[in-house]
Amino acid sequence: MDDWAKLLTAVAAVLGAVAWPLALFLTALLFREVLRSAINRIPSMLDRVKTASIAGVKVELERVADAETEEKAGKVTPNQKEVAARIAVEKSDLGSQPLLKELDRLCLEFDALRRDFPSGDIRTRAMTRIVVQMRSLSPSLIEFLDAYKGSGSAGSRLAAIAMMQMVPMSADVSWLEGRFSSEPPFLFYHAALALQNALDSPGASEKRLLEIREAARRSLERVKSFNGVPDHSTIEVLETMIVGTNSSGPGHD
C-alpha cells in the first residue's frame, strides 16, 4: 500500500507541475488573436503615454513663463527651480530627445523675435518669457552644454547661458566674459546673471571666486565703454559682484 501511495503522490506531483503550463499554453492557443492584438497595441499605448508626458512638460513651461513674466529682474526663482525639478523627473520616462526638441524650439523662437520685432519693452518681455522656459529645461539637458555654447545661433547661446544660470558649477567664466564682446544686451545681461550665480554658488574655491570677480570687472569696463547708453541693469549686476551694491531691473535688448 505504501508503494502505491508513493506512486500516486509522485504522479500527482508531476501532473501538478505540468498543469499550469499546459493551461497557459491552451489559453494562449485559444486566445492567440486577442493576445496578438493586445501586444500590437502596446507600442501605440506607450506612444500615447509619452505624448501626454510631453504635453505635460509644455504645460509646465507655459505656466512658469506666465508666472514669471512680470519678474522685474528676470532672475532664477524658486518656482523655476521647482518646475525644473519636475521636468527632470519626467526625463526618466521621456528621455532627452523630446526635451532637446522643445529647447531647440525655444531657441528658434528667440532668434525669430530678434529678427522680426523691433527693440523695446515688448520684445524684452517676450524674450524673458523664453529664457524662463529655457531655465526650466536646462538642468535636464546640462550634458549638452558644449553643443549650445558652440552654436552660431544667439538663441542656442542663450540656452547655454540659461544652463549655467541653473547649474552654477557648470559656468564657463571665460566663455561668459566673451559674451560682452559679441552679443546683444539681452544676452550679456543674462551672462552677468550667470556670473553672479556662479559667484554665489556654495563650495566655489577662492581661486574660482577671484576668477569670476576679475571677469566681472573686465566685463563692466567693456559695457561702460560701449557707444551710446550702456545697459543699466547689466552694470548693476556686475557692480554687485565687484563692490557689493544691490541690483535690480530687467535687461533690455
pTM of the model: 0.75
User: Tell me: the pLDDT tens digits for 202-217?
Assistant: 888 999 999 999 999 9
Residue 206: inside a domain:
yes
Contact 68, 79 (CB under 8 A): yes
Tell me how far apart the alpha carbons of residues 159 and 145 are, in angstroms, rounded to a whole number. 8
Query: Looking at the domain assignment, is residue 46 inside a domain?
Result: yes
The DSSP secondary-structure symbol of 226 reads: S
Please report whether residue 214 resides in a domain.
yes
| Nine cell digits for residue 222 | 567693456
Average the pLDDT over each of 65-74, 142-151, 218-227 and give the range with the smallest value.
Answer: 65-74
Q: Hey, what's the torsion of the CAs at 28, 33, 34, 35, to 10 degrees?
A: 50
Please count the structural domains in the chain: 1
Helices and strands (DSSP H and E) totals, the chain: 11, 0
Q: Measure the CA–CA gap between 106 and 137, rounded to whole angstroms.
A: 10
CA 119 to chain centre: 27
Give the Å distances, CA to CA, from 175 to 100, 144, 160, 192, 216.
Answer: 22, 16, 10, 12, 12
Q: Could you report the per-residue pLDDT of 157-180, keeping only the tens digit for each?
A: 999 999 999 999 999 999 999 999
The grid coordinates of residue 100 equal: 532637446
Distance between alpha carbon 168 and the CA centroid of its chain, in Å?
14
Q: Shortest CA distance to 58 belongs to which of 111, 96, 99?
A: 99
Where in the sequence is the domain holding 105, given as residue range(s)? 2-243
**C-alpha dist (Å) from residue 96 to 58, 66, 81, 102, 201:** 14, 24, 19, 10, 26
Return all residues near 137 (Cβ < 8 A) that are at least 6 apart.
61, 84, 87, 99, 102, 103, 106
Q: Is residue 234 part of a domain?
A: yes
The per-residue pLDDT for 27 is: 54
Identify the band that residue 99 occupies on the pLDDT scale cut at 50, 70 and 90: very high
- What's the pLDDT tens digit per position in 10-55? 444 544 555 555 555 555 555 556 546 545 554 443 344 444 456 7
* 24 belongs to a structural domain: yes
Structural domain contains residue 248: no
| Secondary structure letter of residue 202 according to DSSP | T
> Is 196 part of any domain?
yes
Q: Which three cell numbers stand for residue 228?
A: 551710446
